[in-house]
Structure formats: C-alpha cells, structure tokens
Amino acid sequence: MATTKAREDIKADLKTLKEDLKTGAREETQRLREKAAEAEAKLRAKSDEVRDQARGYYDEARVKGREYYDDAAERFDEAQRYVVERVQERPLQSTAVALGVGVILGLLLAGRRR
C-alpha cells in the first residue's frame, strides 16, 4: 500500500510538473512573441528613418546635379558663341587653323596604326 501511495504521489507530481511546463511554455511563447513584435516595430521605425534620410540625400543630389548640369550647359553655350564669333570675324584664319589641327590629328592617329 505504501508503494501504491508513493506511485500516486509521483504520478500527481508528474502531472503537476507537466502542467507547470505547459504553462511555462505558453508564458515563454507569449513573452517571445511580444519581444518579436517590439523588435519588428523598432526595425520598421528604423527602416522608415533610413528611407527618409535616403530620400533626402537623393533629393539633394538631384538638385546639385541639376545645378551642375545647368552651369555646364551655360558655359558650353558661352564657349560656342565665342567660337562662332571668332570664326565669323576671321573665316580664313579659322579655316587654316582647323585644317592644321585636322592634319596633325590625322598624322597622330595614322602613326598609331603602324
């Protein structure tokens, strides 16, 4: 009889232990879910912050690029007007210079082929 009582006590203890483990597992699962939700929220907030920062950099680069492009286009137009004016002032001299530059470039390029 003492062994039967001991067995019943052990069974009851095992049942209690099993229930405690289930409860502990549920609680731990819930805690981990909460931690995962917190981590996800932090990650989303950080990704939104980084995305906004990247957009700011992109907009700034786009504006600077447009400024550089406009400045270069203006300088190119000025240079083109200057060349056109000089050619119109001295057409023969301009033609001779262009012919000389063409001959020199032709000789340099022909020399590389050999």
pLDDT digits (tens, 9 = 90+) for 9-61: 898 989 998 998 999 999 999 999 999 999 999 999 999 999 999 999 999 99
* Pair 87, 94: CB distance under 8 Å: yes
pTM above 0.85, yes or no: no
Helix (H) or strand (E) holding 90: none
Residue 111 has a pLDDT of 79
Residue 110 has a pLDDT of 87
* Pair 17, 10: CB distance under 8 Å: no
Residue 6 has a pLDDT of 86
Percent of the chain with pLDDT over 90: 70
Domain boundaries, the chain: 2-113
